[in-house]
Structure formats: structure tokens, C-alpha cells
Amino acid sequence: MKRFVSLLLVTLLVLSLTACNTASKQDTAATTPNNQTATENGGTEQKSGLPVLSPDNPVTISVWTMTNYSAPSADNKLSKLLKERLGVTINYEIIPPENADQKIGVLLAGGEYADLMGTTDLNIRLIKGGALIPLDDYLTEDKANLLYEHVKPYWNRLATDAGDGERHIYVLPNYNRYYGEIVGGTHYGASGFWIQKHVLEELGYPSLENMTLERYFQMIEEYMKKYPTIDGMPTIGFELLCAPGREWVLTNPPQYLAGHPNNGGVVVDENNVATIFADKEIAKRYYKFLNQMNAKGLIDKESFTQTNDQYLAKLATGRVLGMYDQRWAFGQAYDSLVAEGKYERTWVPTMPVYEGCTPYYADREVMNINQGYGISVSCKNPDIVVSFLNTMMSEEWQKLFNWGIEGEDYYVDENGRFYRTPEQREQQNDLVWRNKNKLEALYDNMPKIQGTYSDGNADSPGNQPEEFFDSLSDYDKNFLTSYGKKTWREFLNQPPENPIYYPCWNITLPEDAQVVSQQLTDLALQYLPKIIMADPSEFETLWAQYVSEINKVDVKVYEDAINAGIQERIKNWGN
Amino acid sequence: MGVKKRKKVDIENIIFTTLNTTYLIFLCVVMIYPMLNTLAVSFNEPLDTVRGGIYIWPRKFTLYNYYVVFNMDTIYNAFYISVTKTIVIVVTNLFFTSMLAYTISRKEYIFRKFITTVFVLTMYFNAGLIPNYLLIKKLGLLNTFSVYWIPNIVSAFNLIVMRTYIKTIPESLIESAKIDGAREFHIYWRIVLPLITPCLATIALFVAVGSWNSWFDTFLYNSARQDLSTLQYELQKLLSSTMTAGTRGAPAGINEAGRAGTSGTGSGNVTTPQSIRAAITIFTSVPILLVYPFLQRYFIHGLAIGSVKE
Amino acid sequence: MEANSAKKRKSVWNTIVAQHELIIMSVPLLLYKILFSYVPIAGWAMAFQDYKPSIRSFWKQKWVGFDNFVNLFTGLNGERFLRDLKNTLGQSFLTLLLGYIGAISLALLLNEVKNTTFKKIVQNITYMPHFLSWVIVTGLVSTMLAIPTSGGIINDVLIRLGLIDEPIMFLSEPKYFWWIVAFSNLWKEMGWNTIIYLAAMTSIDPTLYEAAVIDGANRYQKMWHITLPGIKSTIVVLLIMNIGHLLEAGFEIQYFLGNGLVVEKAEIIDIFVLKYGIQMGNYSLATAAGIFKTFVSIILISIANFIADRLGEEKLI
């Protein structure tokens, strides 16, 4: 009992200490709504009309950011640089994306925010919820000139109606606003029907032009006959996956096969009218084909029950000959094979289409709208924050974020080209090193220079062509030469100019349309696995069931919402 | 006859003990496997783990996963906060819960039923995230250490478990104390509390584990205060930082530049969520797994009541 | 009459005065609980609104009456909600049943172990899986249930024993799903749930056992007539409490193990609410579902409590 009492006392002591602590550190962020003109303590006024950041006038900026990156460590060298050169200290509040929905809900209800609010795809809720201030007044030639440059060509596209009927820019786009030339060897966003390099090698590097589903599976079948096992394990012909969040592996392919780009659940015709394709001939044909391939034993029986980890595990053993997927989604398996030196077991994309269709697997990466940083209504001095973002847009800082410090993280050769030593490349993989040397958590949602800098170097090391070649293995160099190509990107089509409304999957849907979209996904998940796994004689019956279930859903609500979105974009996004 | 009977009992005993021991050992094998597997994964090279087939022994040994965890400079303060928070919650919770449980264990207490009902019902509803958040905000508990323990000083489940246990104390003990003129608090503190040590130990374990493992309260109420962050929340963020994008399941849009994957040059210094999760699990389980053996001494059979009866 | 009620009032007052110490010890905590748990219930108004978090005042929200509830049962997803309700009840009933049998029998068997070191080791090992997250456990479950070449240990064993020729695709057959949920829960929580029974057993007076031995009781008789009755009140109270939780069938386990092939047996209310409520920012629907669950829970515990009372067992309330 004595122990209990003393424990209680200790606890009370701890509590009282913490209480004092709390009081002294209490945040006092007062809300100054729409405080666009608050420049009272703005330091030296630049001719640009924005305060100049300097170490003599230290400021702290609170950053709320939804990102997968972790906060920099306390001794981070770029944080130090920000402090030394600009007097800026950043307070991070990092929100892992999995739970960001909930956090945004309570934030909006509470109405208090950090200075900078950055999210990847929920900003629209912050905008509509009145959390962000319009930035239009700052985005001018003589104020935030670099940010202005960033948004100028896309003004109409970025301007959003927060609910008051006026369109303003609230958020600075974080990705895919290109400068200069687009370069890079690997296209991580690439969709494709991937095929193992060894299959192609074995078949004498057959041409991959005019690929069809039939020919794709024929190659797999042929190889499988020859090699029923790989490293003692049964060979898997074709792999599918429909784990949570990866449902599109199952539902996306028909649109590609029919020569359309990825618009999510719809295809858009030449008159810009969108219709769902889940119940159409292009889909039926694909799933019927899969059904037949399954009967032949080419499709993994565990396709629909496996978890993402199990899927990656199979891929990483090198015994999977083909799958439909996007490059980033199986990166770990790819890396695992590379780590083992099994380059021939990795994959390249092919682009099967129905006859008469042109492959449109690779699209031009779309600039993200409503993703990135906005300035909150709680921010006491937006001028300083804008000035900070504007400074960060300079090539000098962009290079620091992407390449690091010259001489430490990269070198410059006599032609002014940036390059890295193998060691410098290597350390980039190390999470611990990155936390000490990069500011990824801050940079993730920041506006970026993508493409090339004015000196012709690529935005980041991964996209510098020389860097790409240097990091290739001999097997891969040889493989590329056999196909007469220089990068993995070249296995895909040249992306044509995007239609103005593209892509439909990021159209913000009203609630009833969201419900329908979710219902369609649920139906697909429920029926397609059965349809593919069924005996071919049952295919027609099951397919008819699936279509009749789709007909019960109010598809029109969804299609109308998408079409309204397309029309709105066509109307507003032209410049 | 007598000898024969005893022999029969002996044989029965041996059979029972053998079967029982076998069953318990079987259970142990089944139950320890997940932890051993996690341990093995945590010491295995991440890119090798991706290939699957790790059971109870690492295939390619590495310490890198732990190197990543221990190199997060925020976890040290977070560890301190987690420990402090857990101690505070355990002590306050034990005190208030047992005191309340004592009052509602008294059959004659007029508000017994009302209080019990009010508490029991709270187990079955949840006002929802936003109303709870707004309450916490109005009370000024946002971004404070207090938010970790103040809303949690009495929980209904523990209350009922304790009440049920207190009821096993012979009423005569309490009656005689009352006749001696003891005050209620005195009876609770001097007589009841020592008798329910095993129950206190159990509740202490439940509360400690619950508090140690929770991260949602940090996320929801204190995410703006790095100095108040807890271990589980920091590790949650670390885990998230090793995930590739796409967990949110946008139909098919991904930002290449942002996720320029590990370019894979065969280095061991690459992490995956699976491996980091394993290391984190081991790292956070060890301190709390040590609590139970420490508390086990309070589970000695009949200790409490036997000793007081005299 | 009047005198009678006045008398009654007086006697209530007398009781209050007499019990003022107990009141001082308990009523502040009661008020505390009302503040933290009942005050926010005002938020349930959301279920009757078309709630938008951005409108900061509660009273400016659009009121929609019972629309959200009607929507839940008869709307676009009516049939589905009922199906999910059935799955929720089925899965949690099986889980509860297996969990009880597992935990109580383990507690009884542990109680029979004389060697304290062995006993402690068993306890410490069996409660370990509780500390693993569902992501890890479901990952292991899913691997164990896979085909042998993917590490499916269960199929491997069954084939080696000659019980089956072809591996069973456990996770693609709806009929197995409830059992998979129940057994996974058993695996993860059995040891942990035992702790409370072991604690309850400490309250059994050891002299009872001594007396029983003198009366010539054997091991099973002692278990049946002393140990089990000794923990009966704990068993009953926990049972009543858990019956109230029948609509909580977990979440992550179904989320990670469920798939399109088994969805008609796998999807539970909470997953439905996640998909159609929370993920779409439809707090009103989520709240309506929450209120519905609360009502069902309260009805269930009332019934269970009533039955326990009738049977002369320990009551919850």
C-alpha cells in the first residue's frame, strides 16, 4: 500500500510539472480570417512587395502536411541551411495519409490550422470548408513572381470555387507542372501488361509492336511449357490482384485494350461523352479471355485471395511471367530481384490492344489540382509564408531539395552536367540518411520545378539520363540494346497531348455519384473474380448476372456527374 | 482397497498431467509462432523478406531495421512521454476505478444502480469523432499532456470487473469495520484495496497495455506538439514513411516524381513496410511484455482473502 | 397519500445523509463520466442532419429527420446493410463462443498446473499474440491458409495426412469465412482473455479445496464444484457485457482477409460504414449506423441482464 501511495504522489508531481510545462508552451495561434493585408510587422519591404526573409529576422512557420515522408531529424542539414540563410524554422505536423480523412474532419470542425496546410488529395475539403485563403493577390509579377510563373499558364484550371461563387487559387500544385524538357529513364506511373525479360530473351527478343492479348498470353504459355518450374517452384503465368486499394488492377485494363487512356471507370468518346465500360463489350471480351486463360491454367489460382504482401512475395521469387500493374506498385518486388542480381526475372511493359486500336497506355502526367500547400485562415502573417514559398521555388533551392549540396551529394562535370558517384547514389536508399540530409516531408507538397532547370540538368538525379544509364546492369544494357531502346520509358507509347478534361478519375463527384461509383467497384470485386475463375461454360450466365446487377445501380447519376465535370472543365480550363 | 484406490488416482493424475502438459505445450508452440516470426522478419534483410518464406529464423541477417528505428531522433522523447503517460493512467485509473467500484459494490448504496447504468451504457455508444474533439477543444485539453489521462480516469469495463471481484469479499469484513466506526474511505483504502490486489494487478495490466498501444489520441489531439508525441504515434509515422503511395487507392494516378522508388542497386539499406513493422512491433512489445511477469506475483492463489481472515 | 410520499422523501433524504461518504466518493466521478461520455452525444444530432463539418455551427446544419436511418435500411444499400448485419452477428457470435470456451478452459487447465514456473511460462507465451497488430496476424493467417507452394502450412499438413488431395482454397470459399474469423480471434486473444479468469480464481478461498479433498472429491469434481462456481460471476458478467458487443465483430480482420469471392459472408457493418460513410465524408450516415448499433446493444444487454437476473446469477446492472 505504501508503494501505491508513493506512486500516486510521484504521479501527482509529474502531473503538476507537465501542467506547468503545458501552460508555458501553449499555442496561441489567434485566428485572423482572410487576413490578406496583414503586413504590419513585415520586416523590410522588398520591391516585390513581400517581406524578405533573413536570419536577422527569424520566423517560425508551422506546417501541417499529409505525407508519407517522415519528419527530418533534428540535425538535418537543409533545415540548418533554411535557418542560416533565411532565418526560417519549420514546425512540422506530419499526418500519415491513411488517417488524414478523420483529421481533416475534426480540423474543419475545430477551425484552427497551421500556417501552411498541405494535402495530397483532400485539399478540396479544406477549400470548401473555408480553411484556406485565396492567394490571387499574391500571385502577381511583382509579388510572388516565381509562384506566379508556376501557376500562370494554368490559372483557369487551378481556380476553384470555395462555395461563394467566385473562383480563386487556394492551392499551389505540387506535382507535374513541367519546365523545360521531360526526361527520365523509368516511368514509375506506367501501366502495362508486364512480361518477364527472360521470356522475351528466350523467344529471341520478339517484336513488341502491335501487341495483342492473344500474342501476350501465347508467349507466356510457350515459356511456361518449356519451364514449368523456376528455381524449383512452379511457374506462374499471369498474376492478378484485388487487395484493398488495388482494385483497379482488375478493373482498369479494358479501357487500355480498347485504346483509351486511364479515365478511371469510364471511357470518353470523341464527342467528350463519358460512359462506364464495366458492362460493355470491351470489358466482356477481356474477362472472357481471362476466363479461358484461367481454364488453361495460366492464371494464378490465388489471384483474388492473396494480400498485397503475398502478391509481392510471388513476384519477388521471379517465377511470375506476367501481370497487369503499374510500375510503382510492384517496386519492392522489382528491387528484391535486382538485389538478388536476377535481372532477367524483372519485367518490361507491353501494350496489348484490340485490333484496330492504338495503344494509349502512357499518358502525359497530369498536373495535380487541389494538391499541395495552401495558406490557412489561421496564419497570422501570410506575407512571410508566401515569401518563403516563393523563395523555395528558386532553382537554387529546388536543386538543394532534389540534388542536395554540390560537392557533398553530387558533382558537376566540365560540361556543367550533374552526376553522382555510386556511393552518393547508394546513400539515397537509406531512410536514416535521407532524414538527415533531405527535407522530403516539407518538399512533398511544395510546388516544384519538374523537367529540366535552365542549365539543362534534370530536375532530380533519377531523371538525369546519364545517371540512369550508369545505374543499369550489364544484363539490362544488353537487353535494351537488343530492342534498340535506351530507356524503359521507350517501351511505352509516346504520350499524346492530353484532352483538356483529362483525367476523369480526379473529377470531384457529388455524394450520390460517389455512392454509385463505390457500388460499381463493389460489384466488380464481387463478380469479376467469380467470372474469371468459373468454368468457361458458365461464363455467359455469370456475365449476364453481373450486367443485370450493374443495371440495378443508378449508373446514370455517375455518368452524368462525370459528364458535368468534363463539360465544366472544357468550359473553364481553356486559357 | 485403500492402496488400490490411491493407485488409481495416481494413474489418473499422471494421465491428466501428461495430457494437460502436452496440450499446453502445443498451445505455446502455436501461440509463440507469430512473435517468433515477427522477430525473424525484423532481423531479416527487407528485400529478402519480400520473397516470403521466413518462418522462425532470419535467412539474411541484418540489423538495419532496428538501425532505422533507433535513428529516429524523436522516439526518445516519445518513449519518455509514453512511459509517463502509462504510469499516470495506470495510477489514476486504478485509484478512481477501485474507489467507485467499492461504492457500487455496496448493496445498500442508493445510487448504486443509477451509477452502474450510466457507466455500463458508455461501453455501447460513441458520440463520434467530431463531437468528442469539440468537447476536448472546449475544455482546453487540445495539445496538452492532460488529454492523455483526464478523459480516461474511469472506464466502465474495468469498473464492472472490479465490482464483481469486490463482491467476493465476505460482507462480514465490511460490516464489522462499520461497527467499529470506520469511515467509508477508510474501509475502501484499508480493507478492500489490499484484498483485491490480484484484480488491481489485472486492471493495471489492461490499462497499461491499452495506454501503451494507443496512438489515435496523440494523432487526434496532440499531433501539433512534437514534444508530447508518443512512441506508438512516432512509429506509426515511421511505418507510413516506408509505404509506397497508393494506399489511398486513387483509381490510377500516381506522382512519379514524388515516389522515385528505390532505384535498387542491390544495397541492403532499403526498408519495406513489412520489415519496419516487424521491428517496430518487437521494439514496442518488449517493454510492455515485461509488465506481466512483474505483476504475476499478485496472482498467487487465495493470497488476499486467506491472509486477512485470521 | 401525501404524508406517505413525504415520509418516503424523508427516508430518501435520510439515506442520502447516511450515505454521504459514499456519495462524495462516487458522484464526482459520475459527473465526470457524464461530461466526457454523455455531453458529446449532442453530436448525435448529426444523424438527423445532412452534416457538413465546414459549417461550424451545429444549428445551421440542414435537418433531414430520419432520412439517414431510412437510407440505411431501405436506401440504395438496404439489402446489403441487412446482409452485413447478419454477417456481423454471425461472426461475432462464433468468435464469442470459441473465445469463451478457449479462454475458460485454458484458465481451468492452467489452474491445475502445479509447477509455477511452467505455469508462468505458459501464461507469458499464450498472451503474446495479443501484442501483434491485425496486419501481422492476418498476414500470417492468409499465408498459412494459402496453397502449399505459397507457404500454406495447413493445406500442406492436410495433404500429407492424406485427408485431402487438392489444396482447399480456404479464403475463396464463403462458407469458411466466419470460422476463419473466429479462429483467428481465438489465436490472437485466447491467452489474453484468460488473465481475467485467472485473477478471478485468486478470490476462491483455498480452504474450500482443502475441505473438498477431505470429502474425497477428485480433480474434476473440484473443478466443477469449486473453481467454476468461484469464477461464475465473472463469467456471467463478462458474457452479458460481450453480448452487448455482438455488433462489434472487429474491423481489420475482415478488411485484410475479405475479398470479392467471399464478400457475401465477409462484409460487416463497420466496413460498410467505412466505405459509404467515413470515406465519403458522410458523417451523418456513419452516426446513424452508430446510433443503430447502440440501440441494438442496449436491447441485447437488457435481455441478457434480465435472463441472468431470472436465473439468479450475477447481474451487470
Query: Do residues B150 and B197 share a domain?
Result: yes
Query: Do residues B110 and B74 share a domain?
Result: yes
Are residues C236 and C308 in contact, defined by beta-carbon separation less than 8 angstroms? yes
Tell me: pLDDT of C271 over 60.
yes
Q: How far apart are CA A184 and CA A479, in angstroms?
A: 18
Tell me: pLDDT of A44 over 70.
no
CA distance readout (Å), A135 to A530, B207, B235, C241: 51, 48, 36, 54
Share of chain C above pLDDT 70, in %: 96
Look at residue A109 in the predicted model and tell me its pLDDT: 84
Decide if B220 is inside a domain: yes
Beta-strand relationship, A233-234 and A229-230: antiparallel
- Say whether A70 and B137 touch across the interface (CB within 8 A): no
Contacts of A442 (CB under 8 A, 6+ apart): A63, A65, A72, A90, A92
Contacts of A229 in chain C (CB under 8 A): none
Average pLDDT, stretch A388-397?
Answer: 95
- Say whether C150 and A314 touch across the interface (CB within 8 A): yes
What values do phi and psi take at A75, rounded to 5?
-95, 25
Which has the higher per-residue pLDDT, A65 or A123?
A: A65
Q: How far is B219 from chain A (nearest CA, A)?
A: 8
Query: Do residues B196 and B300 share a domain?
Result: yes
Are residues A158 and A173 in contact, defined by beta-carbon separation less than 8 angstroms? yes
Contacts of C146 in chain A (CB under 8 A): 302, 305-306, 310
Look at residue A43 in the predicted model and tell me its pLDDT: 37
Look at residue A401 in the predicted model and tell me its pLDDT: 94
Q: Is A501 helix (H, G, I), strand (E, B) or coil?
A: coil
Mind listing the pLDDT tens digit for each residue in C225-240?
999 999 999 999 999 9
| CATH no., domain A57-179+367-406+423-457 | 3.40.190.10
Tell me: pLDDT of B260 over 50.
no
Look at residue A176 in the predicted model and tell me its pLDDT: 85
Q: How far apart are CA B15 and CA C113, in angstroms?
A: 13
Spell C15-30 as b/e; 16+ CB within 10 A means b: eeeebeebbebbeebb
Query: Do residues B188 and B300 share a domain?
Result: yes
Tell me: pLDDT of A116 over 90.
yes
Around C128, how many Cα atoms within 13 Å sit in the side-chain half-sphere? 23
Average pLDDT, stretch A6-30?
Answer: 45
Look at residue B70 in the predicted model and tell me its pLDDT: 93
Q: How far apart are CA C90 and CA C180, in angstroms?
A: 12
Average pLDDT, stretch B42-66?
Answer: 90
- If you count residue pairs, one on A and one on C, with CB atoms under 8 Å apart, how many are there? 90
Contacts of C189 in chain B (CB under 8 A): none
- Say whether B249 and A245 touch across the interface (CB within 8 A): yes
Mind listing the pLDDT tens digit for each residue in A543-553?
999 999 999 99
Are residues B156 and B122 in contact, defined by beta-carbon separation less than 8 angstroms? yes
Look at residue A42 in the predicted model and tell me its pLDDT: 37
Q: How far apart are CA A177 and CA C103, in angstroms?
A: 59
Q: Which H or E run contains A411?
A: strand A411-412
- Say whether B262 and A331 touch across the interface (CB within 8 A): yes
Tell me: pLDDT of A449 over 70.
yes
| Helices B231-241 and B273-289, packing angle to 10 deg | 170
Look at residue B67 in the predicted model and tell me its pLDDT: 92
Look at residue A192 in the predicted model and tell me its pLDDT: 93
Query: Do residues B25 and B148 share a domain?
Result: no
Tell me: pLDDT of B305 over 60.
no
| pTM of structure | 0.86
What values do phi and psi take at B43, rounded to 5?
-100, 10
Tell me: pLDDT of A7 over 60.
no
Average pLDDT, stretch C172-196?
Answer: 94
Are residues A304 and C259 in contact, defined by beta-carbon separation less than 8 angstroms? yes
Contacts of B272 in chain A (CB under 8 A): 332
Share of chain A above pLDDT 70, in %: 91
Query: Do residues B161 and B134 share a domain?
Result: yes
Q: How far apart are CA A507 and CA A369, in angstroms?
A: 10
Look at residue A479 in the predicted model and tell me its pLDDT: 95
Class of domain C67-127+174-309: mainly alpha
Query: Do residues B155 and B300 share a domain?
Result: yes
Look at residue A375 in the predicted model and tell me its pLDDT: 96
Residue among A298, B291, B179, B301 at smallest CA distance from C198: B301
Q: Which amino acid is at A468?
A: F
Are residues C246 and C66 in contact, defined by beta-carbon separation less than 8 angstroms? no
Query: Do residues B32 and B70 share a domain?
Result: no
Decide if B2 is inside a domain: no
Total tally of structural domains belonging to chain B: 2
- Say whether C126 and B116 touch across the interface (CB within 8 A): no
- Say whether B261 and A426 touch across the interface (CB within 8 A): no
Q: Which H or E run contains A102?
A: helix A100-110
Are residues B299 and C198 in contact, defined by beta-carbon separation less than 8 angstroms? yes
Are residues A221 and A237 in contact, defined by beta-carbon separation less than 8 angstroms? yes
Decide if B144 is inside a domain: yes
Share of chain B above pLDDT 70, in %: 86
DSSP state at residue B44: B
| CATH no., domain A189-360+471-571 | 3.40.190.10
Mind listing the pLDDT tens digit for each residue in C72-105?
887 666 788 889 999 999 999 999 999 999 999 9
Domain end position, chosen among B19, B37, B60: B60
Look at residue B3 in the predicted model and tell me its pLDDT: 56
Compute how many other C-beta atoms are within 10 angstroms of the C-beta atom of residue A165: 6
Q: pLDDT-derived band of residue A524, with 50, 70 and 90 as boundaries?
A: very high
Residues 237-276, chain A, touching C (beta carbon < 8 A)? 242-244
Q: Which H or E run contains C286?
A: helix C283-310
Share of chain C above pLDDT 90, in %: 53
B205 contacts chain C (CB < 8 A): yes
Q: pLDDT-derived band of residue B219, with 50, 70 and 90 as boundaries?
A: very high
- Say whether B120 and C316 touch across the interface (CB within 8 A): yes
Query: Do residues B36 and B130 share a domain?
Result: no
Look at residue A28 in the predicted model and tell me its pLDDT: 34
Decide if B21 is inside a domain: yes
Average pLDDT, stretch A4-23?
Answer: 50
Assign residue B137 the CATH number of its domain: 1.10.3720.10
Decide if B215 is inside a domain: yes
Which residue range(s) make up the domain with B40? 10-60
Q: How far apart are CA B248 and CA A99, in angstroms?
A: 10
Tell me: pLDDT of A37 over 80.
no
Domain end position, chosen among B60, B82, B98: B60
Angle at C58 between CA C53 and CA C60, to 5 degrees: 95
* Range list for CATH 3.40.190.10 in chain A: 57-179+367-406+423-457, 189-360+471-571
Look at residue C245 in the predicted model and tell me its pLDDT: 92
Tell me: pLDDT of C156 over 70.
yes
Q: Is A303 helix (H, G, I), strand (E, B) or coil?
A: coil
Ranges of beta strands (E only) in A219-272 are: 229-230, 233-234, 236-239, 266-268
Q: How far apart are CA A506 and CA A515, in angstroms?
A: 15
Which has the higher per-residue pLDDT, C188 or A497?
A: C188
Are residues A209 and A366 in contact, defined by beta-carbon separation less than 8 angstroms? no
C252 contacts chain A (CB < 8 A): no
